[in-house]
Amino acid sequence: MSTTASTTASSTSFAPSTVTESAGAGHGAALRVNGVTKRYGGLKVFENLSFELGVGEVLGVIGPNGAGKTTLINVLCGSTGCTGGHITLRGREIGGLPLHEVSCHGLVRTFQQTNTFRSKSVRENLGYALRFSRSDAAQHAHVSEMFERFELAPRLDEMSDKLPYSLQKMLGLLLAFIAKPSVLLMDEPAAGLERREREYIDFFIHKAREALGCSVLIVEHDIDLIRRLCERVIVLDGGRLLAAGETAEVLSRKDVLAAYVGEIEETADADGSQH
């Protein structure tokens, strides 16, 4: 963030069905999902899902379209309730709590699409987020670094909905970072980004782990990104947990390839058509 941005910050007073998987990374589970089911009437989205997200871990969630990945994020963050099962955040049951209460306990989600205060400037977006956060000087320094890296510093007074799409997404991620989550759920953060812009996601996740000790669950179709960032991955298919384990091992399984290879090829084709 530029000197102007830092001055602005100060002046606004910012104060499974058949598969289960244990947490990786740090000691213990930041988030534990046990036998979670989601149905809409007679429509089953997923059933009896069980897995753990370790403290400080980046866990990938992949699967074909319609596998229930975004619905899983919606259930975990409290924007929609689960039909059965238990969700615990650092030992606290959060299943059934509404979104605002879940976020107060430290679990925050991001969206496939941009998610900012659209009619407000970049400066105002940052001001709103920082004003209601528990941020400190150290966090401000990390925000400033990302602000510069994402090339937002020269655009402080632009309306957020007038920014290029990639910068709108990065601004939305910064707002989530400012909330100081202990667990961050990211729904297709690379969607709509050109390949050269996707390094922003790598940098953001590195900063979230470094500055916040944050655990990250990332739903993504960009398999290269998953390989780079995730030591473990789970695969959803047809409402069940098809596979879970170390990323390289899971992505080499024939059943995973059979369920998912078409999605990978379609993503690659879409990327190729952008250039």
| pLDDT tens per residue, range 116-146 | 888 899 999 988 888 777 666 677 788 889 9
pLDDT at 27: 56
Q: Is it the case that residue 21 has pLDDT exceeding 60?
A: no
Q: 177 near 208, Cβ under 8 Å? A: yes
What are the beta bridge partners of residue 38? 46
Alpha carbons 51 and 28: distance in angstroms, whole number: 12
pLDDT at 24 over 70: no
d(CA 97, CA 103): 10
- Can you give the pLDDT at residue 33? 97
Query: Hey, what are 5's tokens?
Result: 């941005």
**Dist. CA 95–CA 75, nearest whole Å:** 8
Q: Report the alpha-carbon distance of residue 262 to residue 237 in Å, rounded.
A: 13
**Lowest-confidence region among 19-23, 30-34, 161-165, 187-191:** 19-23
Can you tell me the distance from the alpha carbon of 150 to that of 200, in angstroms, rounded to the nearest whole number?
7
Predicted local distance difference test score (pLDDT) of residue 2: 40
Residue 165 pLDDT: 92
How large is the C-alpha radius of gyration of the chain? 19
What's the gap between Cα 71 and its chain centre?
A: 13
Q: Is the pLDDT assigned to residue 4 strictly greater than 60?
A: no
pLDDT at residue 186, rounded to an integer: 97
pLDDT of residue 11: 32
CA–CA separation, 45 and 240 (whole Å): 9
pLDDT of amino acid 261 = 58
Per-residue pLDDT of 198-251, as tens digits, reads: 999 999 999 999 999 999 999 999 999 999 999 999 999 988 999 999 999 999
- Helix-helix angle 3-11:137-149, to 10 degrees: 140
Q: Which residue has the higher pLDDT, 266 or 85?
A: 85
Average confidence (pLDDT) over 150-179: 92
Domains of the chain, with CATH numbers? 3-273 (3.40.50.300)
- Alpha-helical segments (H) within 80-198: 99-104, 122-131, 137-149, 165-178
List C-alpha distances in Å: 246 to 23, 60, 251: 11, 10, 9
Q: How far is CA 137 from CA 13, 140, 253, in A?
A: 12, 5, 46
pLDDT at 16 over 60: no
